[in-house]
A and B are shown apart, each in its own frame.
Chain A
Amino acid sequence: MNWEVVHRATVFISEEMGVALKRSALSPNIRERMDHSCAIVDAQGRIVAQAEHIPVHLGSFKVGVSNLLNHIEREGIELQEGDTVLFNDPYISGTHLNDVGVITPIFAPSLIGYAVNKAHQVDVGGPVPGSINPNASTLYEEGFVIPPVKLMRRGEPVKEVFKMVEENFKVPYVSLGDLRAQLAANRLGVMRVKQLVEKYGAQRLQEGWDSSIDYAKEMVRRRTSSWPTGSFQAEDYLEWRDGLVKVKVTLTLGQTIVADFEGTDPQIDGPLNAVPGVTYSAVSFAVRCAVGEVPTNHGFYSSVEVKASEGSLVNPRKPAAVGGGNVETSQRVADVTFLALSKALPWIPAAAHGTMMNVMMGGTWNGRYWSYYETLGGGSGARPDGDGESAVHINMSNTLNTPIEVAERQFPLFFTRYQVRVGSGGSGKFRGGDGIVRAFKLTAPATVSLLADRFKLGPWGLAGGSPGKPGRATVNGREMPSKFTVKVNPEEEVVLETPGGGGYGIPIDAKTLTSTPDRDGK
């Protein structure tokens, strides 16, 4: 038997799980935006295959699954056929509370591996609609923390746990449906892996998985063997209150790739702290882009190492708030890793928009609590050989937008503009891509939160290119900071403008230079 067949078949299984999840889910965030990820891991918790969905989820499986299995062992939780474990504690799962995970062991007949998926549930409790809270100073202000607990026991739902979710997630009529969709995805994954065992036998399946992991590792080694060795440093910043928070990396290229975050600022009393799972996924994402096509399984991950001292922004102590670490700090960690890589490799583009521009809103409408979440893309950075792309999600997110015609039907929203933010890309020999303008009004009073970044420092250019225009938000004409929660009344317009990408190279045309007034770099 050749291992390539086992390898491909397992990748297909993880993709099939993703399709089942999306198609049966209820919240627009999962069904329209596909904010979810699926993977198959082996009995030792090594990632064998994952569907290419949301980068920040993908890398976090590596840290999250191993934390989870350690926890399960430490607590003496015994897993049996038909059990499924639910979890969302970011200090275990490796992202943030909104990413609710379910993991199901696969017995055939002894334990061969696990099917696991994570989906961004629109609301996991806490004080604000959508849970992600720009003003949170601890984890407890970001929602309901679920340690690993059984959601299904021997094929039967554990009613108490469902009830607990129902009473704590603020839109249970949506969340419970999404949870069922997540269970359906794992059920499918388990069934398919069992079919592989029937076909090849457990031992040959494991051998096939081992080979695919070795193969990925070998591919990385070959791809990086021509890279320069040595250490490359870079710094970048996040915006918090009136100041800046530094993210610093020293990237050492060699047999393995080591990212050391020594010199990064300590954790803050706000939601920008990134748990190690997030930091790891952002670094490994940037490395994966630079390496080129390899299977993103354990073999790839074993080539990437991250060091971050406890108590720092990128490895906080519980119960630091982490809701924005996942969505904003992850982008900056990717940016800073790319910036360090750009000092060694010639094909790295300038910085992209660098913020997911997270919008959370909700309240009571027609007697029911509602919650809505969306993110916005922006400009991609110019490449060494061409302009950046406009209005697109770059780096740690790749969600889809929620169609206006869907959002207006389901929520008290009325959109007024949805356009490319022309001229927001940084100039250079090649221009950065442009950001997005999205504007809306509410038809009922609501609470609106924004968790964004790059409002002060535009995304950096490279090789002499200018930075992209910073992001911007106004409520009823009032200029707002990058992170806020406000009450908005009907007829007040919220306008969001996302950053453009950085430019690349020195512009040849003098006219291009003079037409770009925005260069508010630090």
Chain B
Amino acid sequence: MIVAVDVGGTFTDLVAIDDRGGLMVYKGPTTPKNPEQGVMNGLRRFGDAEAILHATTIATNALLGQMGLELPKVALITTKGFKDVIEIGRQNRPDLYDLRFRKPKPLIPREMRLEVAERTDFTGKVLTPVDPREVEEVAKKAMEMGAKSMAICFLHSYINQRNESVAYDVARKYFSYVSVSHQVSPEPREYERTSTTVVNAVLQPIVSRYLEGLEGALREVGSPKFFIMASSGGLVDSAEAKERPVQLIESGPAAGVVGVSALAKIMGERNALSFDMGGTTAKAGTVVDFNVETTQEHEVGGRVHQGRVVKGSGYPVRFPFVDLAEVSAGGGTIVWRDEGGALRVGPLSVGADPGPACYGKGGTSPTLTDGSLTMGWIPSEISEGMRLDLDLSRKALQTLGDPVEVAHMASDLASLEMSRAVRLVTVERGLDPKEFTLFAFGGAGPQYALRLAEEMEVRKVVVPPHPGLFSALGLAFANRKFEASSSYPEDLEATYRRLEERLMERFPGASFLRYADVRYEGQGWELTIPVDDTSKVRESFEERHMRTYGFTMPRAVEVVTARVFAVYPGYNVNLRAPEGGEVNVKEREVFLDDGWSKVPIYRREELREGFTLKGPAIIQEYSSTTLVRKGWNCKVHGTGSLVMEK
């Protein structure tokens, strides 16, 4: 048996998969101070596991200053003359018109940023060799100042690591945690490389301690093998996670997209849109030709504006990330009116406490969930013992106008906001959403899926089994994936072979995937393309460039970074539709686009494979509610997924 564990802010979700691929699920509260407790509470129910797969938000939460995690003191050793690179950033301000804007505070204060005389030029020639004695001096100084972790980043080290390696060897004598830029992020652009290295250095002590705690607790269940989800959508082992914790930042959200890619493959859907709508945000990602799309650009701790992190508001981290766009639209997102009288949705949200007005926990702000309740989209009893108060919802919405009108318009605006997220990961990448099947999950995703599909002209929508725990399920499907990369390769084929040899030593029996970041000579942004044949790089790049920007150029093409992933395949999960039984249909008054009408209500557990129904209809289950809109037909797939088509 393997167990997938997704530790989120509120809930700890576990999905156990037995040897025949059967599923068991558990949802319990997260125990923020000692997260391993919440995990063990669930694990004890399932008995011994051969492997634990884990998604965690610890890295993000640490950087956002949540969960009472204090950031460790970190020092930076860098090239003489350049210690302020991380403070200057890219010189832009995060908000054009805000007279009170703040730049993000550097993770390492100036007195802890130490310079040494050394320099390499852009060709890789060492102009000034680093003096180990000088490194020794600054390392001692950093220790005296109380540093617990050390970051090292020199100019042009991505092309020649010699000076950094010398400094690393010295620093290791004084520090148990040393992050060095040519190992963490061996690519040009000094600010992004330094920032990535620094974030890694900050996370190392925290993540190491956390993983050691979990591994300690797992001894009780026989120390199963232990893998952690990386932001790239692959699982890494705990040694790798401790060495480069920077790759765990989007661990949780990545798991959902990986789940979608696996389910899509089972169902034969080449192109899938992953749409995950929870309590505070909605996230969109894409699967193209059965592969999860990734990106290299990310800012952690930054402010999100209309789906994109505001450039300069957070700390850049350069590592492969599942390409996700996020907007502030979840069940708890607040609906309000501005001074101009315009109705607005978000970005503020009520959080789990007090929650939407209908929770009756003292919240008075109207939220999208209040709107859903007012329009009859969700039942007033969502699970045993959890009742929602319609009067409180109506009262909250009343402050903005007619409750039903406001609720309906808010749902329209939320859908538009979410379509923005979908657009970012599709049209902005040269992909047409019409060619995709939308997979909707998260607590609120299945309510909005069809409205969103109509907005984006998507014709097929899938709601997977257990939509509320789908991210945990996604872990089980994930490949174990390990990356190696090299910048400005002279001989591409030889570089790939060298990288593969290096990976082969550590990961015997793995298969390899080759990618290249390619651009026209002179461009500043690369397109990442899969490489099957190193002699055809130009062709596939130009095809992609044409698709993305609509033109090609008669000029040289260069490979900036060659990447190889060593891959072990994921576990077998046997998803099956419920046995079904007698289907009991109830009715409820529901407000849809053209007013109130009586709509049939189904229980999902009762719907067996092949069962079909026509919208408008509502399908309720433990962790979610699916809204089947008018004009859509719904059929239960063999995997238990609901498949809806126009």
Interface string of B548-583 (1 = CB under 8 A from A): 111101010000000000000000000000000000
Q: A22 CA to B409 CA in the complex, in Å?
A: 35
Q: A390 CA to B341 CA in the complex, in Å?
A: 37
Q: Kindly provide the distance from the CB of A113 to the nearest chain B CB, expressed in whole angstroms.
A: 20
Q: A383 CA to B101 CA in the complex, in Å?
A: 10
| Segment from B198-206, B349-357, B519-527, B600-608 that makes contact with A | B519-527
Q: List 7 A-B contacts (CB under 8 A).
A: A8-B413, A23-B549, A25-B523, A222-B340, A383-B99, A400-B91, A403-B188
Q: A405 CA to B99 CA in the complex, in Å?
A: 32
| Segment from A255-263, A391-399, A464-472 that makes contact with B | A391-399
Interface residue B85 (Cβ < 8 Å from any Cβ of A): yes
Closest 7 pairs (CB-CB, A-B): A31-B524, A400-B90, A219-B340, A417-B81, A24-B549, A391-B88, A377-B91
Q: Are B87 and A390 in contact (CB under 8 A)?
A: yes
**13 new A-B contacts at CB < 8 Å, known A16-B428, A180-B553, A404-B82:** A4-B342, A4-B343, A24-B545, A52-B97, A288-B97, A347-B99, A383-B99, A389-B101, A390-B87, A392-B103, A398-B93, A399-B91, A420-B87
Known: A16-B428, A418-B85, A420-B84. Is A5-B190 also a contact (CB below 8 A)? no
Interface string of A37-55 (1 = CB under 8 A from B): 0000000000000001001
Interface residue A145 (Cβ < 8 Å from any Cβ of B): no
Tell me which residues across on chain B come within 8 A of A347, comparing CB atoms: 99
Interface residue A73 (Cβ < 8 Å from any Cβ of B): no
Interface string of A289-308 (1 = CB under 8 A from B): 11011100000000000000
Interface residue B635 (Cβ < 8 Å from any Cβ of A): no
Interface residue B506 (Cβ < 8 Å from any Cβ of A): no
Interface residue A20 (Cβ < 8 Å from any Cβ of B): yes
Q: A394 CA to B93 CA in the complex, in Å?
A: 7
Q: A177 CA to B306 CA in the complex, in Å?
A: 29
Question: For chain A residues 346-370, which have a beta carbon within 8 Å of chain B?
Answer: 347-349
Q: How many residues of chain B are within 8 Å of chain A by beta carbon?
A: 60
Interface residue B386 (Cβ < 8 Å from any Cβ of A): no
Smallest Cβ-Cβ distance to A417: which chain B residue: B81
Tell me which residues across on chain B come within 8 A of A269, comparing CB atoms: none
Interface residue A9 (Cβ < 8 Å from any Cβ of B): yes
Q: Are B412 and A20 in contact (CB under 8 A)?
A: no
Question: For chain B residues 266-304, which have a beta carbon within 8 Å of chain A?
Answer: none
Interface residues of A (CB under 8 A from B): 2, 4-5, 8-9, 12, 15-16, 19-20, 22-28, 31-32, 34, 52, 55, 173-174, 177, 180-181, 183-184, 187-188, 215-216, 218-219, 222-223, 285, 288-290, 292-294, 347-349, 376-377, 380, 383, 385-386, 389-394, 398-401, 403-406, 408-410, 414-420, 436, 439
Tell me which residues across on chain B come within 8 A of A34, comparing CB atoms: 92
Q: Kindly provide the distance from the CB of B197 to the nearest chain A CB, expressed in whole angstroms.
A: 14
Q: A187 CA to B427 CA in the complex, in Å?
A: 13
Tell me which residues across on chain A come within 8 A of B555, comparing CB atoms: 173, 177
Q: Are B122 and A408 in contact (CB under 8 A)?
A: yes
Q: Are B155 and A26 in contact (CB under 8 A)?
A: no
Q: State which of B122, B412, B520, B545 has its C-beta within 8 Å of the C-beta of A405.
A: B122
Q: A183 CA to B98 CA in the complex, in Å?
A: 31
Question: For chain B residues 409-440, which have a beta carbon within 8 Å of chain A?
Answer: 409, 412-413, 416-417, 420, 423, 427-428
Q: Kindly provide the distance from the CB of A102 to the nearest chain B CB, expressed in whole angstroms.
A: 14
Smallest Cβ-Cβ distance to A377: which chain B residue: B91
Smallest Cβ-Cβ distance to B525: which chain A residue: A23
Interface residue B102 (Cβ < 8 Å from any Cβ of A): yes
Q: Are B81 and A416 in contact (CB under 8 A)?
A: yes
Q: Are B103 and A418 in contact (CB under 8 A)?
A: no
Q: A293 CA to B190 CA in the complex, in Å?
A: 34
Q: Kindly provide the distance from the CB of B550 to the nearest chain A CB, expressed in whole angstroms.
A: 5
Known: A2-B409, A391-B88, A416-B81. Is A32-B524 also a contact (CB below 8 A)? yes
Smallest Cβ-Cβ distance to A185: which chain B residue: B549
What is the total of A-B residue contacts with beta carbons within 8 Å? 175
Q: State which of A31, A180, A392, A419 has its C-beta within 8 Å of the C-beta of B93.
A: A392
Tell me which residues across on chain B come within 8 A of A5, comparing CB atoms: 412-413, 416
Q: A187 CA to B101 CA in the complex, in Å?
A: 34
Q: Kindly provide the distance from the CB of B8 to the nearest chain A CB, expressed in whole angstroms.
A: 29
Q: Are B188 and A409 in contact (CB under 8 A)?
A: yes
Interface residue B460 (Cβ < 8 Å from any Cβ of A): no
Known: A31-B523, A383-B99. Is A403-B191 also a contact (CB below 8 A)? yes
Q: A293 CA to B339 CA in the complex, in Å?
A: 11
Interface residue B318 (Cβ < 8 Å from any Cβ of A): no
Q: Are B83 and A419 in contact (CB under 8 A)?
A: yes
Known: A219-B338, A377-B91, A383-B99. Is A419-B523 also a contact (CB below 8 A)? no
Q: A348 CA to B555 CA in the complex, in Å?
A: 50
Known: A15-B306, A32-B524, A417-B81. Is A389-B121 also a contact (CB below 8 A)? no
Q: A416 CA to B98 CA in the complex, in Å?
A: 33
Q: Kindly provide the distance from the CB of A418 to the nearest chain B CB, expressed in whole angstroms.
A: 5
Q: Are B523 and A215 in contact (CB under 8 A)?
A: no
Known: A16-B423, A222-B340. Is A418-B121 also a contact (CB below 8 A)? no
Known: A12-B423, A15-B306. Is A414-B121 also a contact (CB below 8 A)? yes
Q: Are A418 and B84 in contact (CB under 8 A)?
A: yes
Q: Are A12 and B420 in contact (CB under 8 A)?
A: yes
Known: A376-B91, A390-B87, A401-B88. Is A24-B190 also a contact (CB below 8 A)? no
Interface residue B189 (Cβ < 8 Å from any Cβ of A): yes
Q: Are A174 and B84 in contact (CB under 8 A)?
A: no
Q: Kindly provide the distance from the CB of B378 to the nearest chain A CB, expressed in whole angstroms.
A: 23
Interface residue B173 (Cβ < 8 Å from any Cβ of A): no
Q: Are A222 and B81 in contact (CB under 8 A)?
A: no
Q: Are A222 and B97 in contact (CB under 8 A)?
A: no
Q: Are B84 and A391 in contact (CB under 8 A)?
A: yes
Tell me which residues across on chain B come within 8 A of A409, comparing CB atoms: 122, 188
Interface residue B100 (Cβ < 8 Å from any Cβ of A): yes
Smallest Cβ-Cβ distance to A292: which chain B residue: B97
